[in-house]
Amino acid sequence: MLISSFLKVFDSNIYNYIVPINATKQSLLNLPRSAKRGLVIVSDALISGFSVWLAFGLRLDQWGYFHGNQWIVLIAAIGFSLPLFIFFGLYRAIFRYIGSAAFASIVRVFIIYGTLFFCTFTLLGIDGVPRSIGVIQPIVLFIGIGASRYFVRHWLGSINNFQKLFHSAQPNALIYGAGAAGRQLAVSLTSSQEMVVKGFIDDDPQLHRSTINGLHVYASTDLQGLIHRLDVTDVLLAIPSANQSRRSAIINSLGGCGVRVRTLPGLNDLASGRVRISDLHDLDMNDLLGREVVPPQVELLEKNIRNQVVLVSGAGGSIGSELCRQIIRFSPKALILLDISEHSLYLIYEELKTALIDLDDSCSEPIRDGAEFSPSLMPIKLIPCIASVRDGELLMKIFKAHQPTTVFHTAAYKHVPLVEQNPAEGIRNNVFGTFTCAQVSLECGVPHFILVSTDKAVRPTNVMGASKRIAELVLQAMADISFKGEHSTTFSMVRFGNVLGSSGSVAPLFSSQIAAGGPITLTHFEVTRYFMTIPEAAQLVIQASAMASGGDVFVLNMGEPIRIYDLAVRMVYLSGLLVKDDAHPNGDIEIKVTGLRPGEKLYEELLIGDSPRATNHPKIMKAHEEFLPWDQLQQELEKLNLALNANDSKLIRSMLIRLVPGYQPNRDGVDYEHSI
């Protein structure tokens, strides 16, 4: 009790002193840059004078005023030091962020300064001035200048240090990577005083047991023990040159250590020397997937876009909006944004307008995954259109008015449980919306039409997957008549799996559940899915469209399927938390199994048949899929439309079974008699 009272009184007194000190610091930081440099120059002149006085006192054991030729030493000290400091850029450094490079510059300056002083007062000599002054004074001045920089760096770079000592527990961090990026990150975080950097981890054995700016460099052999010993809460990845496989190996080694794994901000932020905890990023989707991303082929990205009029249906959706972001980077003549949702359309339209302003301000900028673009001299016209893909008359007006040359059709209802409960509306949108949009494209002579499909179209167990397979059949049949007839529209489709980060994806859901403290809800421990990131999927769709010859079913190589449970565990670990289960009853986040949803499969497939053919792109394959001739398919579509209009759920289901070989409807939990 007595100790507690003492600390309370001590903390209160400290606070009374710290508030005016911090106000003084802030007022100094707010000064103009020229005023700050002036203060430093005056300070260095005073330190130079003091070093001369101290050097004479130490040598003569007499502490008094300068007399005789001693004034020459004072003038020489200031006359030599300040011009050298200015010439070597010592006043260009920001003291709060000063590092080893700046101190190395000080050493170089003092080698020159000491040489000049030694030659003048030791070798040549001046009456009344001991020759040893030529050695003593440079040493004293070096100590004084170095100490002043060190003091200012830590004094101005800190705010409320004592308050933090008594009031808050700062996170402790290890920086993985002792290279240039890691060292700069350490300097920035030390200056911000928001995180305590405990040291570096590096794979280079030559750096082990060494120190960098006072921080130890540790090996990566016993990460768990090191993290426990140093009470580390965060590990910051500062290895921009590492490939994805190396990053994945590091991330896997940190799994279960109870630390939050984050990555460094952009190099521009680091170079500015201003990095806060809020600037550090959580790991991106590629780190969650743990696989390499193949850089896109620029010639394929450009082929159907540059100086073309491009239309994206479902432009406000996850895939549609990312397609739009990628498309404007390759300078189409116009981009038509078509969506039935006013809100979604408004968001992507405003975002693209801002992006176009940024593109106009730069001549060249790298796009994601390293490809380059060069903007067109002509401005890109954005055309937002609120329209349903089932409204043939309105689509015809839009197509005739703007004459698109490439159509990316992404508009679809894709959430399996919702479409399962609303099969008629799902089929109307996914099947007849695709048919209407493709028919208008055919009649208007659109050269390229690309359907974005899904792996759920392969041997589907749900209405959504079956509807997407019928949409594929529509395009395959229309491609056949387009090839044989007068029209020249090239129809193709791209089939891929789940996209991390898209609406309805498990990643955003798991993130929100982790942020809320759990539990994470999982339908089954053994559910596996194919995954890729939104940018990668969009780029592959664009590239596949450039390789189409008509009726092509492109399948994206999505790597190995990932167990959803493993993804959930990985996300928990990377958040610095532990999974709560029977083996770890004191964990943080519980994973609950809720059971498979209606129409949900344990495993997804990408191919109906076998032996997909390779293409010129290592991640794009071409599948050979059987389809119905147009005359036969048209009759089946008319029957399906009649069943939809009658809202006859039994007839709808039987039509799906007849149209889609391999469709096995899962009736568990779905009341087909009362579905909408």
For residue 393, the model assigns a pLDDT of 94
Report the chain's mean pLDDT, rounded to a whole number.
76
Position 277 pLDDT exceeds 50: no
For residue 117, the model assigns a pLDDT of 78
Position 279 pLDDT exceeds 50: no
Position 158 pLDDT exceeds 80: no
Q: What confidence category does residue 670 fall into, taking pLDDT thresholds of 50, 70 and 90? A: very low
**Among 132-136, 483-487, 612-616, the range of highest mean pLDDT:** 132-136
Cα(178)–Cα(111) distance, integer angstroms = 29
Order the strands of the 448-454 sheet from edge to edge. 381-386, 334-339, 309-313, 406-409, 448-454, 490-496, 552-556, 620-623, 613-614
Which string of DSSP letters, residue by residue, matches 391-422? Answer: -HHHHHHHHHHH--SEEEE------HHHHHHS
Question: E strands of 5-155, at which residues?
Answer: none
pLDDT tens digits for range 453-463: 888 888 888 89
From 36-40, 173-177, 339-343, the region with the lowest mean pLDDT: 36-40
Angle between helices 342-360 and 318-328 (to 10 degrees): 20
Domains located in the chain, CATH noted: 16-156 (no CATH), 169-283 (3.40.50.720), 298-631+638-659 (3.40.50.720)
Position 91 pLDDT exceeds 80: no
Q: What confidence category does residue 2 fall into, taking pLDDT thresholds of 50, 70 and 90? A: very low
Q: What confidence category does residue 17 fall into, taking pLDDT thresholds of 50, 70 and 90? A: very low
CA angle at 573 for the pair 567 and 574, rounded to the nearest 5° = 90
Q: What confidence category does residue 333 fall into, taking pLDDT thresholds of 50, 70 and 90? A: very high
For residue 182, the model assigns a pLDDT of 79
For residue 507, the model assigns a pLDDT of 72
Q: What is the mean pLDDT of residues 91-118?
A: 68
Give 563 or 191, the one with higher predicted confidence: 563
Could you say which DSSP state residue 432 is in?
I
pLDDT tens digits for range 280-330: 555 555 556 655 566 677 888 888 899 999 999 999 988 899 899 989 988
Which string of DSSP letters, residue by residue, matches 288-348? Answer: HHTSPPPPP-HHHHHHTTTTSEEEEETTTSHHHHHHHHHHHTT--SEEEEEES-HHHHHHH
**Among 140-154, 271-285, 449-463, the range of highest mean pLDDT:** 449-463
Give 573 or 338, the one with higher predicted confidence: 338
Give 233 or 401, the one with higher predicted confidence: 401
For residue 413, the model assigns a pLDDT of 92
Q: Is 326 exposed, middle or buried (0-12, 13-18, 19+ CB in 10 A)?
A: buried
Going from the C-alpha of 398 to that of each of 118, 387, 497, 554, the distances in angstroms are: 84, 9, 31, 28
Q: What confidence category does residue 538 fall into, taking pLDDT thresholds of 50, 70 and 90? A: confident
CA angle at 513 for the pair 510 and 515, rounded to the nearest 5° = 110
Listed residue (270, 23, 43, 45) closest to 149, CA to CA: 43
Q: Residues near 505 by Cβ (< 8 Å), separated by ≥ 6?
A: 318, 498, 499
Q: What confidence category does residue 503 fall into, taking pLDDT thresholds of 50, 70 and 90? A: low
For residue 372, the model assigns a pLDDT of 41
